[in-house]
């Protein structure tokens, strides 16, 4: 009988309804990687300053919310602690996320695990696996501080960066390609001279060009920040490199900033930082700049609303007309945040409310969706509260039962 009681107890308290009420909030962190899967904005790992996390969190973007109470949900944890990596969503099933490179840590320790350079997350069933990759380039192992992009055919492109498994970090300038449809790796030889790059952002344009912005380049002994007006670009159709000289506003060099691509092919960047000679953050930036990829000109929009603080080693995605920034270090003193900040890119206004964007047509479905979602939430809370009360009652009954039977 005691056993039945304990089983009941764990089934009820372990049930998902319990977490509807006891919804957690992720601790402040930076160096996470982020991927949008439909209306879920996922965050993988990150450095909390105490531990490198193996947590997976997502923001539910299916309903409106105030940024002071973001709709956080935790998902199944990763097999490793994870930071300074990169992630891509499969365009084949729109639900599988690939984690590429990055620093991997033995869970809840301060020891690197130097394990697989690719992990696969099936967001439909919340499951992590380590895929088998044909022809893997072992020199890619333990690379970190880079960004990948994925094209519509399922080819992941990940450029350059350095290893973290030796005291001398070797910087790379090679392009590595993982074709997820056949799980095959390739590192094409490059006939052109290309700078080594790290801590940049990578943005894939619809015409197949990958635009590499900011970051640092150099050798293992000395690296310097990249010039923001000399932009390295890779053509995923011809596998060739070119430099695009960018005109317009002068934008300060930076690393570990964020970048998103708008519908009209502007790249909006936010924040980032510069490092001192010891490799620590010297200062963090809080500016927005826009690169027009048709004219290759930088501009600085005038922005209204209460802006985000300086942020570096954060992440950003574009969802409809919202650029959503999350987590990051806010200063040179490594103060980390768990806040999110939202920029409405239609008029460059910082907003405190995430509104389900309504379409301009006479289609009422998105409004209906919002109403359904909020009523579902109330139903959820109702069921959750009911089950918790039931659990407490059962607990008390069980307690007296055990007392009497003892
Ligand atoms: C969002 O929440 C904050 C803090 O509770 C509040 O001050 C602010 O007015 C809210 N914003 C909106 C648009 O409701
Ligand atoms: C910006 O646009 C949003 C709609 O996208 C609107 O609600 C808001 O009032 C605008 N803000 C300013 C400052 O114009
Ligand atoms: C949308 O809602 C309005 C008022 O609620 C209604 O008059 C209109 O017919 C609806 N449009 C469609 C396309 O359902």
Tell me, yes or no, whether 308 lies in a domain.
yes
Q: Any idea which ligand is nearest the CA of 363? A: 3
Residue 14, sorted as left (phi over 0), alpha (psi -120 to 50) or beta, turns out to be alpha
pLDDT score of 49: 93
Q: Give the binding-site residues of ligand 2, using a 6 Å CB cut-off.
A: 304, 321, 344, 346-347, 349
Structure tokens at 318: 């574009």
Q: How remote is the CA of residue 374 from the centroid of ligand 3, in Å?
A: 20
Q: How remote is the CA of residue 347 from the centroid of ligand 2, in Å?
A: 6
Structure tokens at 138: 């072992």
Range of the domain at 87: 2-363
Tell me, yes or no, whether 384 lies in a domain.
no
Looking at ligand 2, which residue's alpha carbon is closest to its atom 1?
347
Looking at ligand 1, which residue's alpha carbon is closest to its atom 6?
68
Q: How remote is the CA of residue 345 from the centroid of ligand 2, in Å?
A: 10
- Whether 68 is in the pocket of ligand 1, judged by its Cβ within 6 Å, is yes
Looking at ligand 1, which residue's alpha carbon is closest to its atom 5?
68
Q: How remote is the CA of residue 204 from the centroid of ligand 1, in Å?
A: 36
The answer to whether the beta carbons of residues 330 and 348 sit under 8 Å apart is: no
pLDDT score of 43: 98
Tell me, yes or no, whether 401 lies in a domain.
no
Q: How remote is the CA of residue 188 from the centroid of ligand 2, in Å?
A: 47
Q: Are strands 209-213 and 201-204 parallel, antiparallel or unpaired?
A: antiparallel
Q: How far is CA 103 from the centre of its chain?
A: 15
Residue 114, sorted as left (phi over 0), alpha (psi -120 to 50) or beta, turns out to be left
Say how far apart CA 32 and CA 44 lie, in whole Å.
Answer: 6
For a pocket test of ligand 3, which of 364, 365, 366 has the largest count of ligand atoms closer than 8 A to its C-beta?
364
Tell me, yes or no, whether 383 lies in a domain.
no
The answer to whether the beta carbons of residues 156 and 177 sit under 8 Å apart is: yes
Looking at ligand 1, which residue's alpha carbon is closest to its atom 1?
66
Tell me, yes or no, whether 139 lies in a domain.
yes
pLDDT score of 1: 55
Closest to 255 (Cα-Cα) out of 242, 237, 274: 274
Q: Which atom of ligand 1 lies nearest, measured to the CA of 353?
A: 13
For residue 243, the SS3 value is strand
Q: How many CA atoms lie within 13 A of 280 on its CB side?
A: 7
Closest to 223 (Cα-Cα) out of 181, 185, 276, 156: 276
Structure tokens at 297: 């000109």
pLDDT score of 172: 87
For a pocket test of ligand 2, which of 307, 343, 344 has the largest count of ligand atoms closer than 8 A to its C-beta?
344
Looking at ligand 2, which residue's alpha carbon is closest to its atom 11?
349
Q: Which atom of ligand 3 lies nearest, measured to the CA of 363?
A: 13
The answer to whether the beta carbons of residues 18 and 46 sit under 8 Å apart is: no
Report residue 321: phi and psi, to 5°. Answer: -100, 15
Residues of the chain with pLDDT under 50: 16-21, 366-373, 375
Closest to 326 (Cα-Cα) out of 58, 122, 89: 58
Specify the CATH number for the domain of residue 343: 2.120.10.80
Tell me, yes or no, whether 377 lies in a domain.
no
Q: Which atom of ligand 1 lies nearest, measured to the CA of 66?
A: 1
Q: Are strands 33-37 and 273-275 parallel, antiparallel or unpaired?
A: unpaired
Tell me, yes or no, whether 54 lies in a domain.
yes
Looking at ligand 1, which residue's alpha carbon is closest to its atom 14?
66
Q: How remote is the CA of residue 304 from the centroid of ligand 2, in Å?
A: 10
Specify the DSSP element, H or E, that contains 9. helix 2-13
For a pocket test of ligand 1, which of 65, 67, 68 has the largest count of ligand atoms closer than 8 A to its C-beta?
68
Please count the structural domains in the chain.
1
Residues 6+ positions from 198 with CB-CB distance below 8 Å:
145, 146, 160, 161, 162, 171, 215, 216, 217, 223, 255
Q: Any idea which ligand is nearest the CA of 368? A: 3
Say how far apart CA 320 and CA 377 lie, in whole Å.
Answer: 23
Q: Any idea which ligand is nearest the CA of 305? A: 2
Q: Any idea which ligand is nearest the CA of 350? A: 2
pLDDT score of 372: 45
- The model carries a pTM of 0.81
Tell me, yes or no, whether 157 lies in a domain.
yes
Neighbouring CB atoms inside 10 A of 96's CB total 21
- Whether 353 is in the pocket of ligand 1, judged by its Cβ within 6 Å, is yes
- Bridge partners (DSSP) of residue 36 are 41
């Amino acid at each position: 009988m005691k056993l039945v009681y304990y089983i009941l107890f764990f089934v009820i308290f372990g049930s998902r309804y319990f977490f509807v009420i006891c919804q957690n909030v992720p601790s402040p962190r930076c160096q996470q990687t982020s991927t949008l899967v439909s209306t879920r904005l996922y965050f993988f790992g990150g450095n909390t300053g105490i531990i490198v996390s193996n947590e997976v969190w997502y923001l539910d973007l299916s309903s409106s919310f105030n940024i002071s109470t973001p709709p956080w949900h935790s998902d199944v944890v990763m097999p490793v602690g994870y930071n300074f990596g990169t992630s891509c969503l499969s365009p084949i099933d729109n639900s599988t996320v690939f984690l590429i490179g990055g620093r991997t840590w033995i869970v809840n320790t301060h020891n690197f695990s130097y394990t697989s350079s690719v992990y696969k997350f099936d967001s439909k069933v919340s499951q992590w696996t380590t895929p088998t990759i044909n022809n893997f380039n072992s020199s890619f192992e333990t690379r970190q501080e880079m960004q990948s992009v994925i094209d519509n055919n399922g080819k992941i492109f990940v450029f350059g960066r350095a290893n973290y498994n030796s005291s001398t970090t070797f910087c790379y300038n090679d392009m590595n390609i993982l074709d997820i449809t056949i799980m095959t790796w390739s590192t094409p030889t490059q006939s052109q001279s290309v700078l080594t790059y790290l801590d940049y952002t990578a943005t894939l344009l619809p015409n197949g060009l990958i635009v590499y912005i900011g970051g640092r380049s150099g050798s293992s002994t000395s690296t310097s920040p990249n010039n923001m007006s000399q932009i390295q670009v890779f053509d995923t159709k011809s596998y060739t490199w070119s430099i695009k000289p960018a005109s317009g506003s002068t934008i300060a060099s930076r690393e570990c900033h964020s970048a998103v691509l708008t519908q009209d092919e502007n790249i909006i960047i936010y924040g980032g930082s510069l490092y001192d000679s010891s490799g620590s953050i010297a200062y963090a930036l809080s500016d927005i700049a826009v690169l027009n990829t048709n004219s290759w000109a930088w501009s600085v929009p005038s922005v209204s609303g209460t802006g985000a603080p300086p942020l570096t080693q954060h992440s950003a995605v574009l969802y409809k007309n919202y650029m959503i920034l999350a987590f990051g270090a806010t200063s040179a003193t490594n103060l980390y945040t768990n806040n999110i900040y939202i920029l409405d890119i239609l008029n460059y206004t910082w907003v405190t409310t995430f509104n389900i964007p309504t379409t301009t047509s006479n289609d009422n479905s998105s409004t209906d969706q919002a109403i359904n979602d909020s009523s579902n939430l109330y139903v959820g809370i109702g069921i959750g509260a009911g089950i918790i009360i039931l659990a407490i009652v059962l607990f008390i009954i069980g307690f007296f039962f055990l007392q009497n039977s003892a």
